[in-house]
Amino acid sequence: MATTTSLDPAARPPISSVLPPLFLGTATFNTQHVKDPLQMPYREIVSRALELGVNGFDTSPYYGPSEVLLGDALAAHAAATNAPRDSYVLVTKAGRIAGNEFDYSPAYVRHSVLRSLKRLNTTYLDLVYMHDVEFVSPAEVLAAVRTLRQLRDEGHIRYVGISGFPVHVLCGLAEMVLAETGEPLDAVLSYGHFTIQNPTLGLPEVVAGPDHNDDRSPLRRFRNAGVQVVLNASMLGMGLLTSTGIPPSCGPEGAAEQGKAGVIASWHPSPDELRAACRQLSTIATAAGERLETVALHWSMEEYARVGALAGLGVQLPGQSGLRVGGSVMGVTSTAELEQTVLAWRHVLQGLAGGGPGRAPSTARYEKLKALVEQEMWPALGVWKGYSWASPDDGFEN
């Protein structure tokens, strides 16, 4: 959403009025998702996203060449269209260097943010998260957040947040930041925990409804910690919830033979049993005349649009005064995947149109998909519904 940009911390508008409801995540501009990111149509993807109204971009130094490619694509688009910087929202991260290497020191966080500014060809960043906070100590997270706030006060960034996998860790750190500094985090990025396989982020609201009073609710804990926005990412479980799925664990040679799915299989933290359970969901979707990706994306975006807004952690929907929705981050490797996801998002908006915050979905199409998930897919998952792998795993050393 285009805004009048203020870098004065005291004059900043609420982050819920700045962030768009749908982001293009660029973790896919990386060798973890494609063999050669330089050969993927990254300029076309970014330009097409902006044409379709997707004007939020999420990246990280950890994602290989992602920041450089995104910066190049945005510069090319600006040169072709004269699009101003405040017509899009740039989000990046700091602190994670490699799979088993993290540096949350104030000096490195500052270095990382200033480097990101150069890579992304911008004078400011709209939001910076500390990346995968579960891998370091709470004291390190606190020091890093304070450094980000110093960078904010200097005008380099506008808002500060954290990202990670274990939801309870994110909740605890948000509570700690408020208790220790007297100032809440602006935003939290949760990934892999509001999917058709694992809806943990939305529990118990996604099952029992928003009036269900349960202090274990992650969204309730975030709200009580003063967080303004919680975004949901990895709606396809980083490849688990796709028609091809993720094959069993294999070495580098096997991964090379299996193409894109094999590339993901070589690093994906899921156990083989979960991969097999998710492949069953593709069979169920096909029998219903659907693609698993379509079902998974539509369910996740629509349910979180509703639940995130009801929890008071949504973003303002452009052009809809007062209407807020839970925001999502998508990842694609082609313009076709982008267009399919945006089409699903537009169906979500149609289902929510005309109502207030948290309006229940009303389209017959969505009701069919929702029934497919709840009545067929969830029972098929059995013990793997709601399963989260350990992060970090046993024996991790930084």
DSSP per residue, 148-207: HHHHHHTTSEEEEEEEES-HHHHHHHHHHHHHHHSS--SEEEEESSSSSS--GGGTTHHH
pLDDT given for residue 320 in this prediction: 76
pLDDT tens by residue, the chain, 398 residues:
444 466 666 688 999 999 999 999 999 998 777 778 889 999 999 999 999 999 999 999 999 999 999 999 999 999 999 999 999 999 999 999 999 999 999 999 999 999 999 999 999 999 999 999 999 999 999 999 999 999 999 999 999 999 999 999 999 999 999 999 999 999 999 999 999 999 999 986 554 555 555 667 999 999 999 999 999 999 999 999 999 999 987 555 444 545 566 678 888 999 999 999 999 999 999 999 999 999 999 999 999 999 999 999 999 998 777 789 999 999 999 999 999 999 999 988 887 765 444 555 557 888 899 999 999 999 999 999 999 999 998 888 89
Q: How far is CA 167 from CA 199, 200, 240, in A?
A: 11, 8, 19
pLDDT given for residue 94 in this prediction: 99
* Active site members: 63
pLDDT given for residue 216 in this prediction: 72
Q: How far is CA 119 from CA 65, 67, 80, 257, 287, in A?
A: 10, 6, 19, 33, 46
pLDDT given for residue 263 in this prediction: 77
Distance (Å, rounded) from C-alpha 301 to C-alpha 329? 9
Please name each of the domains of the chain with its CATH number.
Answer: 15-384 (3.20.20.100)
pLDDT given for residue 3 in this prediction: 45
Q: How far is CA 341 from CA 15, 69, 236, 384, in A?
A: 24, 21, 11, 26
pLDDT given for residue 161 in this prediction: 99
> What residues contact residue 106 under an 8 Å CB cut-off, 6+ apart?
143, 144, 146, 147
Distance (Å, rounded) from C-alpha 131 to C-alpha 141? 10
pLDDT given for residue 281 in this prediction: 98
Structure tokens at 112: 């990382």
Distance (Å, rounded) from C-alpha 174 to C-alpha 183? 10
| Residue 5 DSSP SS3 | coil
Burial of 301 from C-beta contacts in 10 A (0-12 / 13-18 / 19+): buried
Taking each helix axis from N to C terminus, what angle separates 292-310 and 335-352, rounded to the nearest 10 degrees?
Answer: 40
Q: What are phi and psi of 336, to 5 degrees?
A: -65, -45
Q: How far is CA 200 from CA 166, 190, 218, 349, in A?
A: 10, 10, 8, 23
| Residue 12 DSSP SS3 | coil
Distance (Å, rounded) from C-alpha 57 to C-alpha 64? 16
